[in-house]
Structure 1
């Protein structure tokens, strides 16, 4: 399935208060590999950005002067994400803003969930690491994902980090440590414990005659289906 890692930056915390998207960043994944295709815009929101938001993402009102408005990129964005699975950290936040932006255009656009599947990596992280910090910074540390020395958040930068985190989080074991969800001092160190030399020997259970006959019968079926090329027959 084609996947799109998506992140937004906004003027404030809630679209119900009239806040708007000011940056959107998307990266395409196919077959668990970044394809190099991306979608990225800074947007003019036609309203002031809250100081608290500027402290997070560093985007100022002055910087956005002359940038396109959402209506100018709405069709291009919809075409880029349609039919994909969106990978978003804390998806209700970004989906809420996107649906608000499309609804206010009053041009008949579908809601995002009508054209895309959505995978919320925050929900996934909480399932894999209960009672742990699961914000993007914590996950990047846990999975040894490069932070790129960021001082501010940014939609495209966060999408890059989230893509790496998602691939690590869904790719099976990433190290030898049995404590990969431990944070702080000692996190990420490999834990190897040697077994005692005087431990009881493992019990070996061999197949009985009835089980061996059933095994041979199964190999006969496999050998017939493989045209006489059953690898187990060759080994024996």
Structure 2
């Protein structure tokens, strides 16, 4: 199955108040395996870049000033994603910005029925745990040492690895002889048949001497409890 894992960077938090999309990065996956095909683009937002947003992703208005507008690249983006499910971390945020940009272009928005939110998946799998991309990378041992700032394509590549872990994609069954199935985390041990030497049962009956010593010991007991029980019965 083809899926697209993606991330966006923006000028702020809400497209309804004038914030714009400035970067998008997409990673193509087929059956939970990255194919190597990606889509990455920066966009000129035609507005200033708030300092707090630039501190997150490092994209300045000057850097973006010569980049294409989203409308110029919308067709390429839509061609890349096709009709595949779209995976994002806190996906409602990213869908909101993409659909706002598509709407301004007069294009059909992307249906939220295609949305797969890794935050929701992580919340169910790890209730009460930290759910940020950094926290999930740490949990699953995914190297993010090269992530000094947010970046749409880099974050999409990291999220693709997290998504595989969240959905158990690395535990794909391996078919073995005789229909045995194992996973990557399983261990199979084959034990060779060993011909064992037959040993007759060992005698356990008491000897005459042991019986005699036992009867002598019983005779020394005063008012044994089993006799009282027999009388009471």
TM-score scaled to structure 1, two decimals? 0.70
Is residue 46 from structure 1 mapped to residue 20 from structure 2 by the alignment? no
Moved over 2 A (4+): none
- The correspondence of residues 35-114 of structure 1 with structure 2, limited to 5 A, is 35-106=35-106, 109-113=107-111
The answer to whether the Cα contact below 8 Å between 2:32 and 2:169 also exists between their aligned partners in 1 is no
Q: 1:173 to 1:72 in 2, by over 3 A?
A: closer
Q: 1 CA distance for matches of 2:77 and 2:137? A: 27
Q: 2 CA distance for matches of 1:21 and 1:72? A: 13
Q: 2 CA distance for matches of 1:151 and 1:96? A: 26
Q: 1 CA distance for matches of 2:130 and 2:68? A: 36
Aligned-residue offset at 1:50: 1.1
Match of 1:129? 126
Match of 1:213? none
Aligned-residue offset at 1:149: 2.6
- The correspondence of residues 143-222 of structure 1 with structure 2, limited to 5 A, is 143-171=140-168
Q: 2:124 aligns to what SS in structure 1?
A: helix
TM-score scaled to structure 2, two decimals? 0.71
Deviations 1:12-49 (A, max 9, x none): 11101111110000000002211111100011000011
Match of 1:23? 23
Q: 1 CA distance for matches of 2:40 and 2:18? A: 22
The answer to whether the Cα contact below 8 Å between 1:7 and 1:156 also exists between their aligned partners in 2 is yes
Q: 1 CA distance for matches of 2:9 and 2:51? A: 13
